[in-house]
Amino acid sequence: LQLGGTSIVRNAIKAGEIDIYPEYTGNAAFFHDQADRNIWKDADKAYQEAARLDKEAHNIVWLEPAEANNTWAMSVRGDLARENNLATLEDHANYINEGGAFKFAASAEFVESASALQAFQEAYGFKLESDQLLILSGGNTAATLRAAALNNNDVNGAMTYGTDGGLDALDLKVMEDTAGVQPVYQPAPIVRGEVLEAYPQIREVLTPIFESLDLETLQRLNGQVAVNGVPADTVARDYLDSLAQD
């Protein structure tokens, strides 16, 4: 059942029009008007707080989240990461500060926002000059990822979201935000409390599925849809079948 964006499905579950859907922990900050709290930058605390707030306000239960984070991120070409052992934003900052060649594709919002590139630079101690930036119109990460993958204008890094489908397909690696600069957006199933009480097996069914969905797995599955054009329901069904065979 495809209803539309976050606000539509959120209102639907609160009204009892749907019983369950996957939500991001970070969105709870906005649902409950608490976006200014640092708690949302800690994965475990954010999940616990989202679960508490929704249970108390709406009797909505958050089930086990996936070990993935779909927040704003910085990614680099896979060959650059492998050749220079880049895995975290600390590694990336050291590479830049030591004079490593780097050019980054991003939207104007990502570059100008105090909570995006500027926050990363401040936290990790690096600075990208204007000639190290390719600013693309809009906030479409498909365009930034493509620029890095094709090495357009010497671009070898891109603004992204953590589970973007193009990352795996285009061989780009997300630099881990170990300092917790960005709010955490872990996907988790949320279900109306009365429905879970009536059908407790929902938890037993969904927990192992979401436990299997790490960052790389979600990137790969999303890539099958976004890059290869496979219907989402086919990708989901094939993945569930593969879990059943393990």
- Domain presence at residue 14: yes
Residues 47 and 83 in one domain: no
- Domain presence at residue 50: yes
- Domain presence at residue 237: no
- Domain presence at residue 63: yes
Q: Which two tokens stand for residue 170?
A: 């285009």
Residues 82 and 164 in one domain: yes
Torsion angles phi and psi, residue 104, rounded to 5: -120, 130
What's the confidence (pLDDT) of residue 1? Answer: 65
Q: Tell me the per-residue pLDDT of 87-139, one tens digit each, with 9 for 90 and over.
A: 999 999 999 999 999 999 999 999 998 889 999 999 999 999 999 999 998 77
- Domain presence at residue 208: no
Instruction: With a cut of 80, say whether residue 30 has pLDDT above it.
Output: yes
Residues 63 and 80 in one domain: no
Instruction: With a cut of 70, say whether residue 21 has pLDDT above it.
Output: yes
Q: Which two tokens stand for residue 134?
A: 């390719």
What's the confidence (pLDDT) of residue 2? Answer: 67
Structure confidence at residue 208 as a pLDDT band (50, 70, 90): very high
- 49 SS3 class: helix
pTM score above 0.95: no
CATH number of the domain residue 93 falls in: 3.40.190.120
- Beta strand 133-136 with 104-107 is parallel
Number of domains in the chain: 2
What's the confidence (pLDDT) of residue 246? Answer: 75
- Domain presence at residue 228: no
Taking residues 217-244, what's their average pLDDT? 94
Instruction: With a cut of 90, say whether residue 214 has pLDDT above it.
Output: yes
Residues 114 and 139 in one domain: yes
Q: Tell me the per-residue pLDDT of 31-86, one tens digit each, with 9 for 90 and over.
A: 999 999 999 999 999 999 999 999 999 999 999 999 999 999 999 999 999 999 99
Q: Tell me the per-residue pLDDT of 131-155, one tens digit each, with 9 for 90 and over.
A: 999 999 877 899 999 999 999 999 9
Residues 93 and 165 in one domain: yes
Residues 94 and 160 in one domain: yes
Residues 108 and 23 in one domain: no
Its domain, for residue 141, covers 72-174
- Any residues with CB less than 8 A from the CB of 148 and at least 6 apart, and which? 75, 76, 77, 105, 155, 156, 157, 158, 170, 172
Residue 32: CB atoms within 10 A of its CB come to 17
Residues 161 and 189 in one domain: no
Residues 77 and 165 in one domain: yes
Structure confidence at residue 209 as a pLDDT band (50, 70, 90): very high
Structure confidence at residue 9 as a pLDDT band (50, 70, 90): very high
